[in-house]
C-alpha cells in the first residue's frame, strides 16, 4: 500500500518565508504604488477585498489581454483567476471592445433614461439559454439577488428566505447566515453591521440536506429558496443525486419560489447548470461574466412569475419602491452583453473551455497521484477547484472545515512567483476562450513544483 504524502508544517513555513522574500524582491514598483495608495485608499486598495492578495501587498496590473496579465514590474501571468468569473470571457475580448467603442464613441450614450435594441436582444438570448422568458437588468449580481428577494416576498406575502450554509450571493443582507457547530442558525462570522439579525429574515440548512429543506419549507412561510445549483464559494460542492429534483419538488409542494443563482455556475455551459442539468427555476439570477467584464447583473423569471409581478398591488416598481438603480439596464452594459453572448461566450467557446478544464484537472490529478497526495479537484465545466481532502465535501459546513489559510497562501504565492494566478478567495481556476493548452500545462508544471516543495 502506498503511504499518503503529508504536509510538513515546518517546510510550509520555510517555503512561505522564501516565497515572500522573492515576491518582495521582484515587485518593487507594485510595492511603491501600494505605499502611495495607502495615503488615499482604505487598506491601500480601491476595494477592501483586494487586500487579500498574498505576498504582503497586491500586484499592480499594467495591462490584461485574453488570459494574460502584465504587472507594473514587467512580469507576465497566466490568469486563472479571471476576475473571480467577471473576466470569464477573457480580458478585453475584441468583440466586446468593439461593441463598447461603437456604443460609447459612435452611437453615443453610456446612460440614458431610454431603452436600446440591445436590451431586447440580450433578454431574448438569456431566455433562450436559461429557459425563463422575462428579464430585468441590474449592475451587479448582488443587486439582482437583492431585488429578487424583495420581489419574492412581495409576490408570496411570506417573510422568510431559505439559503444554504456558507453560500455566497454577493453582499445581500439576508444571506449572511450559517449554521454553527451545534447546527444552530447564526449571523455569519464577520458580518459587518447587519440592520437586523439574519435569523429574523432567513432560514438556513446545509446544501444536500433535503430532509432539512423539507422541514424548513413545511409551514409555507418561506418566500423563496436562493441557491447556486452547486456551491462555488466554499470550494465547489456538487449536488448529490436527486437533491435538486427534491428541492424543486419541495418548492412546488409548499408554493415556495426557487431562485437559481448562475453567476459562477455559468461555467457549466452556455445556459449554466440550468440548461446542462435540465433545472426548472422560477427565477435565474446572474451577473459578472455576461458583459465581458463591463458591469451588469440580470434576473430572469418564468411567465408565471412575470404575471405575478405585474399583478402586484401597491408595489412601486417604477420609482422608489426598492427595486432598481439609475444606471441599471444602461446601453453600454447591454451593448457589451450582446457582443459577449453572441460572439465570445458562445456554445463553441464553452466546448473549448471545458476541454481545457478537463486537461487542467487531469494534470492536477496526475500530480496528486504521482506523489500520493490526499487532495482532490472538483470540476464544474470550465471551472475547477482544489480541495485539501481526498473525498470532496458534500456541504458548505464540511468544506469550510477544510479551510487552511497558510497552505492556501503559500500555494497561491508560489504559483504567482512563477507566473500563474489562482483566485485569491479560493483554490479556483477558470478557463476562458483565450486560455491555451500551454497555459494549462504551465499550471500543471508549477503545481507539481509546489507539491514537491511542500509535501514530505
Ligand X SMILES: Cc1ncc(COP(=O)(O)O)c(C=O)c1O
DSSP-derived letter for residue 5 is P
Among 44, 90, 93, 170, binds ligand X (CB under 6 A): 170
Shortest reach from residue 384's CB to ligand X, in Å: 16
Among 141, 225, 384, 420, binds ligand X (CB under 6 A): 141
Shortest reach from residue 330's CB to ligand X, in Å: 16
- Helix, strand or coil for residue 419? coil
Q: Is the dihedral of CA 379, 384, 385, 388 positive or negative?
A: positive
Asked if 343 touches ligand X (CB under 6 A), the answer is no
- Helix, strand or coil for residue 286? strand
Burial label, 437 (beta-carbon count in 10 A; 0-12, 13-18, 19+): exposed
Nearer to ligand X by Cβ, of 66 and 170: the residue is 170
Asked if 399 touches ligand X (CB under 6 A), the answer is no
> What is the x/- site pattern for ligand X, positions 279-298, by CB under 6 A?
--------xx----------
Asked if 424 touches ligand X (CB under 6 A), the answer is no
Pick out residues in 193-212 that bind ligand X (CB under 6 A).
none
Among 129, 264, 426, 443, binds ligand X (CB under 6 A): 264
Q: Which three cell numbers stand for residue 135?
A: 428579464
DSSP state string for 234-264: SS-BPPPTTHHHHHHHHHHHHT-EEEEE-TT
Asked if 169 touches ligand X (CB under 6 A), the answer is yes
Nearer to ligand X by Cβ, of 287 and 381: the residue is 287
CB-based closest residue to ligand X = 170
Asked if 229 touches ligand X (CB under 6 A), the answer is no
Nearer to ligand X by Cβ, of 236 and 357: the residue is 236
Asked if 142 touches ligand X (CB under 6 A), the answer is yes
Pick out residues in 426-445 that bind ligand X (CB under 6 A).
none
Stretch touching ligand X by CB under 6 A, among 50-58, 164-172, 363-371, 379-387? 164-172
Taking CA 245 as the corner, what is the angle to CA 244 and CA 249, rounded to the nearest 5 degrees?
A: 115
Nearer to ligand X by Cβ, of 30 and 140: the residue is 140
**61 has which bridge partners?**
71
- Helix, strand or coil for residue 185? strand
Among 30, 96, 136, 140, binds ligand X (CB under 6 A): 140
Nearer to ligand X by Cβ, of 260 and 440: the residue is 260
Rounded to whole angstroms, the Cα distance separating 417 from 450 reads: 11
Nearer to ligand X by Cβ, of 44 and 287: the residue is 287
Pick out residues in 4-63 that bind ligand X (CB under 6 A).
none
Asked if 156 touches ligand X (CB under 6 A), the answer is no
- Helix, strand, coil percentages in the chain from 3-state DSSP, rounded to 5: 45, 15, 40
Rounded to whole angstroms, the Cα distance separating 129 from 283 reads: 13
Among 19, 209, 261, 385, binds ligand X (CB under 6 A): 261
Rounded to whole angstroms, the Cα distance separating 417 from 143 reads: 36
Residues 79 and 421 sit within 8 Å (Cβ to Cβ): yes
H or E element that contains 70: strand 68-71
Alpha helices in 27-156, H assignment, sequence order: 28-37, 94-101, 117-130, 141-156
Nearer to ligand X by Cβ, of 165 and 263: the residue is 263
Chain residues binding ligand X by CB under 6 A are: 84, 140-142, 145, 168-170, 228, 233, 261, 263-264, 287-288
Amino acid at each position: 500500500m502506498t503511504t499518503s504524502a503529508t504536509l510538513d508544517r515546518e517546510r510550509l513555513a520555510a517555503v512561505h518565508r522564501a516565497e515572500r522574500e522573492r515576491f518582495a524582491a521582484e515587485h518593487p514598483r507594485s510595492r511603491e504604488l501600494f505605499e502611495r495608495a495607502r495615503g488615499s485608499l482604505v487598506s491601500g486598495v480601491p476595494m477592501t477585498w483586494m487586500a487579500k492578495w498574498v505576498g504582503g501587498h497586491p500586484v499592480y496590473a499594467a495591462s490584461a489581454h485574453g488570459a494574460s496579465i502584465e504587472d507594473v514590474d514587467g512580469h507576465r501571468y497566466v490568469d486563472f483567476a479571471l476576475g473571480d468569473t467577471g473576466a470569464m470571457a477573457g480580458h478585453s475580448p475584441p468583440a466586446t471592445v468593439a461593441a463598447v467603442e461603437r456604443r460609447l464613441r459612435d452611437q453615443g450614450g453610456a446612460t440614458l433614461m431610454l431603452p436600446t435594441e440591445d436590451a431586447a436582444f440580450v433578454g431574448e438570448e438569456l431566455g433562450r439559454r436559461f429557459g425563463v422568458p422575462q428579464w430585468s437588468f441590474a449592475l451587479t449580481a448582488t443587486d439582482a439577488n437583492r431585488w429578487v428577494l424583495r420581489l419574492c416576498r412581495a409576490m408570496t406575502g411570506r417573510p422568510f428566505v431559505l439559503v444554504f450554509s456558507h453560500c455566497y450571493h454577493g453582499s445581500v443582507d439576508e444571506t449572511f447566515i450559517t449554521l454553527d457547530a451545534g447546527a444552530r442558525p447564526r449571523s455569519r462570522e464577520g458580518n459587518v453591521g447587519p440592520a437586523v439579525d439574519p435569523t429574523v429574515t432567513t432560514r438556513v440548512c446545509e446544501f444536500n440536506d433535503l430532509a432539512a429543506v423539507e422541514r424548513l419549507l413545511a409551514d409555507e412561510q418561506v418566500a423563496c429558496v436562493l441557491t447556486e445549483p452547486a456551491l462555488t464559494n466554499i470550494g465547489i460542492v456538487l449536488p448529490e443525486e436527486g437533491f435538486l429534483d427534491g428541492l424543486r419538488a419541495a418548492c412546488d409542494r409548499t408554493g415556495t419560489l426557487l431562485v437559481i443563482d448562475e453567476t459562477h455556475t455559468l461555467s457549466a455551459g452556455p445556459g449554466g447548470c440550468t440548461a446542462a442539468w435540465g433545472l426548472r427555476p422560477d427565477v435565474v439570477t446572474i451577473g459578472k461574466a455576461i458583459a465581458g467584464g463591463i458591469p451588469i447583473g440580470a434576473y430572469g423569471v418564468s411567465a408565471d412569475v412575470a404575471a405575478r409581478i405585474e399583478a402586484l398591488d401597491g408595489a412601486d416598481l417604477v420609482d422608489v419602491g426598492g427595486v432598481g438603480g439609475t444606471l441599471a439596464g444602461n446601453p453600454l452594459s447591454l451593448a457589451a452583453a450582446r457582443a459577449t453572448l453572441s460572439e465570445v461566450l458562445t456554445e463553441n467557446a464553452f466546448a473549448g473551455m471545458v476541454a481545457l478544464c478537463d486537461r487542467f484537472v487531469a494534470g492536477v490529478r496526475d500530480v496528486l497521484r504521482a506523489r500520493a497526495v490526499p487532495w482532490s479537484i472538483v470540476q464544474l465545466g470550465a471551472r475547477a477547484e482544489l480541495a485539501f481532502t481526498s473525498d470532496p465535501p458534500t456541504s458548505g459546513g464540511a468544506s469550510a472545515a477544510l479551510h487552511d489559510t497558510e497552505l492556501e497562501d503559500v500555494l497561491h504565492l508560489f504559483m504567482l512567483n512563477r507566473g500563474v494566478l489562482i483566485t485569491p478567495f479560493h483554490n479556483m481556476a477558470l478557463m476562458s476562450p483565450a486560455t491555451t493548452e500551454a497555459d494549462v500545462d504551465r499550471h500543471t508544471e508549477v503545481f507539481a513544483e509546489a507539491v514537491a516543495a511542500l509535501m514530505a
